[in-house]
């Protein structure tokens, strides 16, 4: 049980690269951090988006690559080694208007809150998925929500690939994938891209990218081990066609896991927590944000880890003055 009257110096909410890096730095600074790693928070296991990634080839220090869950296990073991106390629970509500800050655990909202002098929010963002028929079977076996993370993997090389979306991220992912795939289908439900003009022009000029306009995906198919095709429907004509593809990439956005903090912290229009430039400071003194919950631009494990380090150092310095 929690010592409900104890005020923790630092409480970390979230357990991806940002949360665990913050924990390692905070623990080594004798701040005795307490982490709530989440229990299927945002529909994802503790450890966050990395746990849904089979092969991580772009995290420094692992020249042979490492699986997402294994990398997460390394992060967790390192946090524990330096004394981080980890609870496999989700924080569902917070009150940032009082000092110490108050946090409630999911399913235990009627019990006394956890108390904290400072909070590091590292709850991440969850890639939006379409939940198409066959998606669960072929997730990470041909279907991904991150071309930059997965596009260079051997299964996608010299294969026809599909990207779903019409904004800047879809245009960027399609362009990025031309380095690896033989041909890229860009599937969009309208007949023009929402992407900025320069990105849209780059896509339309690229001979390897074939736009599939006015179309929506209906179903993913494969040989039970790997994706082999995508069924799409033209929303204007009703025509249905099956595209032979070895990879499908969602570029339809992410949802930052920031709901418990709405109305208490400054956020942008998409729900990302706003941090002061060059720091992890949020709009509330003593509350810091790191990783994908405040980063809509990069969203990589390594940038999340870096911002987790920043948050711990910022929190340590802030606590010294309070």
Q: Where are the domains of the chain?
A: 7-126+254-320, 129-250
**The model's pTM:** 0.85
The model's confidence at residue 49, banded by pLDDT at 50, 70 and 90, is confident
Share of the chain above pLDDT 70, in %: 98
Q: Please check whether the two domains, 7-126+254-320 and 129-250, share a CATH topology.
A: yes
Annotated catalytic residue within 30, 73, 149, 268: 149
The predicted-structure confidence for 63-97, as pLDDT tens digits, reads as follows 999 999 999 999 999 999 999 999 999 999 999 99
Q: What is the mean pLDDT of residues 268-284?
A: 97
Pairing of the two strands 227-234 and 240-244: antiparallel
Q: Does the active-site annotation cover 309? A: no
Q: How far is it, in rounded angstroms, from Cα 165 to Cα 232?
A: 13
Token pair, residue 105, equals 């655990």
Cβ count near 277 (within 10 Å): 6
The predicted-structure confidence for 114-139, as pLDDT tens digits, reads as follows 999 999 999 999 988 999 999 999 99
The predicted-structure confidence for 141-185, as pLDDT tens digits, reads as follows 999 998 988 999 999 999 999 999 999 889 999 999 999 999 999
Residues 6 or more apart whose CB falls under 8 angstroms from that of 282 comprise: 121, 265, 266, 273, 274, 275, 276, 288, 289, 294
Contact yes or no for 10/118 (Cβ under 8 A): yes
pLDDT for 169 equals 86
Is 3.50.50.60 the CATH classification of the domain at 7-126+254-320?
Answer: yes
Annotated catalytic residue within 95, 146, 268, 292: 146
Q: Which fold has domain 129-250?
A: FAD/NAD(P)-binding domain (3.50.50)
Exposed e or buried b per residue across 106-118, where buried means at least 16 C-beta atoms within 10 angstroms of its C-beta: beeeeeebbbbbb
pLDDT for 229 equals 98
Annotated catalytic residue within 150, 292, 295, 314: 150
């Amino acid at each position: 049980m929690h010592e409900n009257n104890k005020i923790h110096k630092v409480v970390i909410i979230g357990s991806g690269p940002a949360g665990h890096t913050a924990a390692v730095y905070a623990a080594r600074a004798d701040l005795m951090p307490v982490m709530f790693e989440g229990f299927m928070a945002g529909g994802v296991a503790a450890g966050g988006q990395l746990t849904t990634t089979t092969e991580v080839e772009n995290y420094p220090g692992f020249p042979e690559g490492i699986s997402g869950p294994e990398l997460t296990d390394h992060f967790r073991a390192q946090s524990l080694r330096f004394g981080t106390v980890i609870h496999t629970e989700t924080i569902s509500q917070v009150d940032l208007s009082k000092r110490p800050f108050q946090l409630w655990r999911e399913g235990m909202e009627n019990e006394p809150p956890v108390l904290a002098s400072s909070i590091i929010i590292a709850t991440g963002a969850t890639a939006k998925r379409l939940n198409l028929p066959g998606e669960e079977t072929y997730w990470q076996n041909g279907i991904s929500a991150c071309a930059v993370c997965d596009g260079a993997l051997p299964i996608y090389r010299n294969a026809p690939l599909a990207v779903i979306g019409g904004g800047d991220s879809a245009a960027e992912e399609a362009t990025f994938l031309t380095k690896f795939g033989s041909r890229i289908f860009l599937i969009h439900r309208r007949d023009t891209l929402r992407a900025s003009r320069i990105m849209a022009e780059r896509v339309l000029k690229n001979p390897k990218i074939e736009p599939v306009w006015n179309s929506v995906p209906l179903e993913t198919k494969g040989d039970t081990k790997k994706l082999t095709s995508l069924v799409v429907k033209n929303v204007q004509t009703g025509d249905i066609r099956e595209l032979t593809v070895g990879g499908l990439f969602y570029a339809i956005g992410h949802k930052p896991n920031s709901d418990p903090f709405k109305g208490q912290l400054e956020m942008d229009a998409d729900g990302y927590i706003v941090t002061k430039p060059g720091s992890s400071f949020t709009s509330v003194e003593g509350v810091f944000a790191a990783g994908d919950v405040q980063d809509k631009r990069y969203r990589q494990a390594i940038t999340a880890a870096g911002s987790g380090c920043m948050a711990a150092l910022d929190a340590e310095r802030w606590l010294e003055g309070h």
